[in-house]
Amino acid sequence: MRELARAAREAGNALQQRSTEDRRAALERLAQALLDRSDEILASNALDLAAADDLAPALRARLSLSQAKLDTLADGIRSIAASDEPLGREVARRQLATGLELTQVTSPIGVLLVIFESRPDVLPQVAALAVKSGNGLLLKGGSEARHSNRCLHAVVTEALELGPVVGLVETRGEIAELLALDDVLDLVIPRGGNALVRHIQENTRIPVLGHADGVCHVYVDASADLEMAIRIVLDAKTDHPSACNAMETLLVHCDVDPEPLVQALTRAGVTVDRAPADWHLEYGALACAVRVVDSLEDAVDHIHAHGSGHTESIVTDDEEAAVRFLSSVDSACVFHNASTRFADGYRFGLGAEVGISTSRIHARGPVGVEGLLTTRWLLRGHGDTVGPFTRGEREYTWVEA
């Protein structure tokens, strides 16, 4: 496993030396290969589906590939190919002293380990993001998708023509080994349910990008437009109940009658829980908790005590209340008069989404290619040494440019 990780790092190092045009062309080849070799890919996928008779319908739908899914995937990879070069971008530039120029430039993180459940379409998508961002990549897919993943991995590797930039691992034992390699792997991205994310967070020292829970709140303030509140609450809960950005708890100010909100939810098939045993619960289904609070401050305290720091929204016509909520809620996403469902990389306009992070370190909230980058500080001088500055013979200018 260490050799695999080292190979991915070396391939990543070689990758970031490639020109923008080289990497763009590799991604175009990958998009085309997914279309050209779709028969082969769908045949592999059929083997997985045949072996997965007892899979729940939702999981089966995720495992299943189709020509339409491959078309969408190819489109997505073409748009990653066409997007701006993320590497080598100047984040800061400062003249430290005459002739001594400092720049801070974006760089790849190094080697990513992406662990995903039975959704084989994640494989080429993440491979494309890694190539775009110049990172080496190790992938571990669900065992239900073994045939699909092997086929897609071959298609990706052959189409990219970039060497072992994408490594595929298949067993849980291999993952356990990889999670111990914090000296050669730089970031783990688990894409899957709470249990997967939590397991990984608890079993590695490598930084983990993502979130275990999405316990999102909508707070209906005293000055809310009730019709708007119903619209937002329904969208936040029912648009996609199992999504991480769906509402799990509705907080209602005591001056607002909660019944119209509860009735609207009930009519939409939502089970409303007025006294849950645990306020930190991700229902992930057509169900939610409701609590009446005495004030905006109590709503914020509830969110800080029971939330997951993902996404919260206030519905209010009171601008001052909105400002207080937006400035005091310590979550990745804080909204005013908008559904929590907008917390999403695509909707935020970030292009391809890597995931949503509730970490306070590195990327936070919906994460695009930016979250796969770090920076390096480059300094160009003419034989400069610190001695003359220490002795007062030269002075720092620190001119921003």
Residue 349 makes contact with its own copies by CB under 8 A: yes
Residue 273 makes contact with its own copies by CB under 8 A: no
Please state the closest distance from residue 147 (CB atom) to its own copies, in A.
32
Distance CA 344, CA 331 (A): 14
Q: Please state, as a whole number, how many other Cβ atoms lie within 10 Å of the Cβ of residue 85.
A: 14
**Per-residue contact flags (x/-) with its own copies for residues 43 to 82, judged by CB under 8 A:** ----------------------------------------
Span interacting with its own copies, options 46-54, 125-133, 212-220, 333-341, rule CB under 8 A: 333-341
Residue 342 makes contact with its own copies by CB under 8 A: yes
Please state the closest distance from residue 45 (CB atom) to its own copies, in A.
26
Please state the closest distance from residue 14 (CB atom) to its own copies, in A.
10
Residue 250 makes contact with its own copies by CB under 8 A: no
Considering beta carbons, is residue 34 or 363 the nearer one to its own copies?
A: 363
Contacting its own copies (CB under 8 A), which of 272, 298, 384, 394?
A: 384
Residue 335 makes contact with its own copies by CB under 8 A: yes
Residue 184 makes contact with its own copies by CB under 8 A: no
Contacting its own copies (CB under 8 A), which of 207, 273, 284, 286?
A: 207
Beta bridge partners of 252: 220, 292
- Through-space distance between the first and last CA atoms of the chain, rounded to whole angstroms: 45
Considering beta carbons, is residue 267 or 382 the nearer one to its own copies?
A: 382
Question: Using CB under 8 A, which residues numbered 218 to 247 contact its own copies?
Answer: 225, 228, 231-232, 234-236, 239
Residue 7 makes contact with its own copies by CB under 8 A: no
Sheet with 90-97, edge to edge strand ranges = 100-108, 90-97, 399-400
In angstroms, what CA-CA distances link 124 with 41, 164, 167, 194, 373?
A: 12, 14, 12, 23, 19
Please state the closest distance from residue 282 (CB atom) to its own copies, in A.
16
Please state the closest distance from residue 207 (CB atom) to its own copies, in A.
4
**Per-residue contact flags (x/-) with its own copies for residues 122 to 161, judged by CB under 8 A:** ----------------------------------------
Contacting its own copies (CB under 8 A), which of 156, 322, 352, 369?
A: 322
Residue 26 makes contact with its own copies by CB under 8 A: no
Residues 6+ apart with CB under 8 A from 229: 218, 220, 256, 261, 315
Residue 387 makes contact with its own copies by CB under 8 A: yes
Considering beta carbons, is residue 292 or 338 the nearer one to its own copies?
A: 338
3-state secondary structure of 44: helix
Considering beta carbons, is residue 45 or 316 the nearer one to its own copies?
A: 316
> Of how many residues is the chain composed?
401
Lookup result for tokens 């991915």: 8
Residue 339 makes contact with its own copies by CB under 8 A: yes
Distance CA 201, CA 336 (A): 31
Please state the closest distance from residue 275 (CB atom) to its own copies, in A.
25
Please state the closest distance from residue 329 (CB atom) to its own copies, in A.
8
The CA-based angle 112-118-122, given to 5 degrees, is 45
Q: Please state, as a whole number, how many other Cβ atoms lie within 10 Å of the Cβ of residue 224.
A: 25
Contacting its own copies (CB under 8 A), which of 100, 222, 286, 292?
A: 100
Residue 83 makes contact with its own copies by CB under 8 A: no
Residue 118 makes contact with its own copies by CB under 8 A: no
Q: Hey, what amino acid is at 351?
A: G
Residue 2 makes contact with its own copies by CB under 8 A: no
Nearest to residue 211, comparing CAs of 312, 309, 140? 309
Distance CA 36, CA 390 (A): 64
Nearest to residue 356, comparing CAs of 245, 248, 249, 215? 245
Angle at which helices 20-36 and 146-160 pack, to 10 degrees?
Answer: 140
In angstroms, what CA-CA distances link 14 with 25, 33, 132, 133, 288?
A: 16, 23, 13, 12, 50
